Structures are given as structure tokens and as C-alpha cells.
Amino acid sequence: MTFTPFPELKTERLLLRQILETDSKVILYLRSDKDINKFIQRPPERQTNTEADALKHIIKLNKQQENNQSITWAITLKEQPELIGTICLWNFTDHNKTAEVGYDLSPKHQNKGIMTEALLAVIHFGFNSLKCNKIEAYTQKQNANSIKLLKRNGFSLNTTKKDTDNASNLVFEVFA
């Protein structure tokens, strides 16, 4: 498994590209806005409270990508290069057969099918390019929009698996 060169993904309306240091203001917004993060619990060391924190986070993401540990895409509209959200594959199991997907999106771009389009592209990449057998998603049980997104895109609730870090999370999965 290698993420070099960075695998840009294109859909009908979107370009999923590498996150750049120049995206730090938007990353700060996405990781600190109360509405976007109302269902996310981050420990203090993973919180993003300043633009410097956002820049450190971007550098960390890009280092993880260079080391083939995880990959995070900036979600952009094809005709507008500004980042509007992110989507990642991470928490790969041994032999990279299972990965976890995570995502966020600016509220002004929600309910337009953008995350569905991005999610389908990333699932396709995970199964076809990385040869994963399963992709999981952890979402807070009150996050109705995320649950609806996952179910609409082929994910099923795994009733036997629990998130040991957050009892409020549900675990969804989709298989190749």
C-alpha cells in the first residue's frame, strides 16, 4: 500500500486532493466549529484551537500519508479550489484489509449530495486500489445525518462491535 504519489480522486462535481498548508484556516474552522463537531469527542491533545494547531495537524496528516499510515483528502468543488471538507481512510488493520473512514463538511455544503459523492469515491479507492475487504465508520448514535449517509451508501450497523473509546458511537461497515 502506497499513497505516493498522492492519489487525487475526481468525481462528477468534486476533486479530492491533498490537504495543503495553505488550507490551515479552513482546517481550523472544520475542526473547531461547534456545529460541525457537536458529535465528535477529541482528547485535548487532538483539538484544533488556533491556526498554528491547524498547521500542525496538516503537517501530521501529510506525514502519515508519506508513511502510508493513513490518507486524508481535501474535498473541493472542481471549479473552486477552496477546501469545503475532508475525508480520510485510517486505522488500517494488519495487512490493510480493514480501514476506517472519517469525514467532515462545511454546513453550507451539506445536504447537496457532496459527501455521498466523496464517500463513494473513497470507498471505491479503498476496495479497488488498496484491496481492503471492509471499511468501517464510527458515528455518534445521535448523528442522524451521518447514519443516513452511511446507510444510503451500503453501510450496515455492526451490532456486536463497540467503540471502546466512545460508548456513544455506533459502528457501521461495508464490505467489498
Instruction: Report the distance separating Cα 83 and Cα 73, nearest Å.
Output: 9
Residue 43 placed within a domain: yes
Q: For the chain, give the percent of residues with pLDDT over 90.
A: 91
Residue 38 lies in domain = 9-175
HSE, side-chain direction, 13 A CA sphere, residue 35: 7
Residue 74 placed within a domain: yes
Going by pLDDT thresholds of 50, 70 and 90, the confidence category of residue 126 is: very high
Instruction: Report the distance separating Cα 38 and Cα 85, nearest Å.
Output: 16
pLDDT (0 to 100) of residue 12: 97
Going by pLDDT thresholds of 50, 70 and 90, the confidence category of residue 149 is: very high
Please tell me the total count of domains within the chain: 1
Closest by CA to 149, choosing from 93, 90, 85, 95, is: 85
Residue 47 maps to which CATH number? 3.40.630.30
Cα angle value 10/48/16 (rounded, 5°): 0
Residue 2 placed within a domain: no
Residue 3 placed within a domain: no
Query: Tens digits of per-residue pLDDT, 12-56?
Result: 999 999 999 999 999 999 999 999 999 998 888 888 999 999 999
Residue 1 placed within a domain: no
Query: Tens digits of per-residue pLDDT, 82-111?
Result: 999 999 999 999 888 999 999 999 999 999
Q: What is the mean pLDDT of residues 107-123?
A: 97
Average pLDDT, the chain: 96
How does strand 98-105 pair with strand 134-140?
parallel
Residue 29 placed within a domain: yes
Could you tell me if 64 and 91 are in contact, meaning their C-beta atoms sit under 8 angstroms apart? no
134 contacts: CB under 8 Å, gap ≥ 6: 97, 98, 99, 173, 174, 175, 176
Residue 109 placed within a domain: yes
